[in-house]
Amino acid sequence: MSKYTATLIDNETGEKIELDILHPTQGPRAIDVTRLYRQTGILTYDPGFMSTASCWSDITYLDGEEGLLEYRGYPIQELAEQGSYMETCYLLLNGELPNAEQLEEFSGQIVHHTMLHEQIKRFYSGFRRDAHPMATMVGVVGALSAFYHEYMDIHDEKNRYETAILLIAKMPTIAAWSYRYANGVPFMYPDNKLGYAENFLHMMFALPSEEYTVDPLMARALEVILITHADHEQNASTSTVRLAGSSEVNPFAAISAGIASLWGPAHGGANEAVVRMLMEIRDSGKPLEYFVDKAKDKSNKFRLMGFGHRVYKNYDPRAKILRELCHKIIDKSPLASEHKVLLDIAMELEGVALEDEYFISRKLYPNVDFYSGIILLSMGIPMNMFTVMFAMARTVGWVAHWHEMMGDDKTRIARPRQLYTGKTHRDYVLVDMR
Ligand code: MLT
């Protein structure tokens, strides 16, 4: 029993119900309605989980009003400026930053698992060359359950941790191969002398016939992209992984479901949509105000992509980090002048929107997707790979949440209820009588 309770008075029946108020270490309190239905026969209604906490979690904290994001208590800015993606993965999975020895051991474990079973290659050739790489990724990651699940006990903490390592390690190979297959270019095997980000760039861009050296600036840019996208508490794809995982399905199937959820333009697919919008603005020759007005017009379907967030009512801290990074790398891009135009439009659009009463009153600030696409483009990553990059980065968040959920004795199979709006009972009528 919690120290504090809230009293719900049912004005229809006069019944009074005491509900516990739950206190997390940070963030809003919650009313515990778990026993509400059993005690009263009343459900709660909250489409889209606008006011619902679905679990307890120690992993990531975000304060939408303040624009604050912390992984296990560490601010995202500090991790992005000073940390590495490997440290971030260790932190998210284990709860603490690794010391030098732990980091070396962890990175070694990841490196050990970067290869894919040789037969997995054949899955790629089953896809059309023009398949979206996210479609390929959903399929290939789901197929991992046919290769690596048999001897794994999802109720065993050690087994789950090993699965997490395996998934983080294999994701860059799966992602890069989706791109290589679509382009008819031979797959590059991982080079385990390279770091995580370098290895991905090598598998994306190297050719077996040529020398390829990873540009350290691009590798660092990718590290920052990976760190800033690594976790974001109970977003749609993470909730999908938890929901799918709650039936005790194997983790590869659950992560594949998460990738599918991330793909949508309302979630991870937004980074691609932002760049398409910036290109549309550039090619139209129309002033920015025209697009801003269009976005404000409710009868028009056009929306400013990359603005606003369900939780942030302030500047998304990740967008600030990525805006800076954009400036650092844009001139190094092979198509610098072309990409610079997009960055200029983005900056100008941000300026116009942040001064406009419509956006101010609705607290619509740039989110993580607003600048990430321009960075990826500057790195030579094609647009249809943007969400794949997001999926690669978010894999650690998904597996960390899955691992946490499976070890939580409060976990139950996710089974929401509904408010039925259909017909009430009626009797079957024979077909020739209808
Ligand atoms: C994310 O990083 O997952 C997105 O910002 C979406 C979200 O948190 O709802």
Q: What is the per-residue pLDDT across 347-370, written as a single tens digit (0 to 9) for each?
A: 999 999 999 999 999 999 999 999
- pLDDT value of residue 2: 67
Atom of ligand 1 nearest to the CA of 262: 3
Quote the CA–CA distance of 387 and 267 in Å, as a whole number. Answer: 9
- pLDDT value of residue 94: 98
- 289-300 pLDDT, tens digit each: 999 999 999 999
- pLDDT value of residue 335: 79
Atom of ligand 1 nearest to the CA of 238: 3
Q: Given a cut of 80, is residue 150 above it in pLDDT?
A: no
Res. 1 pLDDT band, cuts 50 70 90: low
Nearest CA to ligand 1 atom 2: 232
Average pLDDT, the chain: 95
Nearest CA to ligand 1 atom 8: 235
Ligand 1 pocket mutation pick from 50, 232, 394 by most atoms within 8 angstroms of CB? 232
Using DSSP, how many helices (H) and how many strands (E) does the chain show?
A: 19, 6
Task: Give me the helices (H) in 95-215, please.
Answer: 100-112, 120-125, 133-143, 145-148, 157-182, 196-205
Tell me how far CA of residue 330 lies from CA of 77, 119, 333, 378, in angstroms: 20, 39, 5, 6
- pLDDT value of residue 219: 97
- pLDDT value of residue 333: 81
Query: What sign results for the dihedral spanned by CA atoms 39, 40, 45, 51?
Result: negative
Whole-number Å distance, alpha carbon 64 to ligand 1 midpoint, is 11
Q: Given a cut of 90, is residue 309 above it in pLDDT?
A: yes
Nearest CA to ligand 1 atom 1: 232
Whole-number Å distance, alpha carbon 312 to ligand 1 midpoint, is 10
Task: Give 17's strand partners.
Answer: 8
Q: Given a cut of 90, is residue 149 above it in pLDDT?
A: no
What percent of the chain is modeled with pLDDT above 70? 99
**Coil, helix or strand at residue 25:** coil
Whole-number Å distance, alpha carbon 263 to ligand 1 midpoint, is 12
pTM: predicted TM-score of the whole model, two decimal places: 0.96
Instruction: Rounding to the nearest 10 degrees, give the CA dihedral for residues 228, 234, 239, 241.
Output: 40
**Coil, helix or strand at residue 224:** helix
- pLDDT value of residue 331: 86
- pLDDT value of residue 339: 87
Q: Is 235 in the pocket of ligand 1 (CB under 6 A)?
A: yes
Nearest CA to ligand 1 atom 9: 235
Q: Is 310 in the pocket of ligand 1 (CB under 6 A)?
A: yes
Q: Is 232 in the pocket of ligand 1 (CB under 6 A)?
A: yes
What is the DSSP secondary-structure string of 345-412?
A: HHHHHHHHHHH-HHHHHTT--B-HHHHHHHHHHHTT--GGGHHHHHHHHHHHHHHHHHHHHHT-TT--
**Type of residue numbered 312:** Y
Whole-number Å distance, alpha carbon 208 to ligand 1 midpoint, is 37
Cite the active site residues.
309, 369
Atom of ligand 1 nearest to the CA of 233: 8
Whole-number Å distance, alpha carbon 243 to ligand 1 midpoint, is 17
Whole-number Å distance, alpha carbon 370 to ligand 1 midpoint, is 12
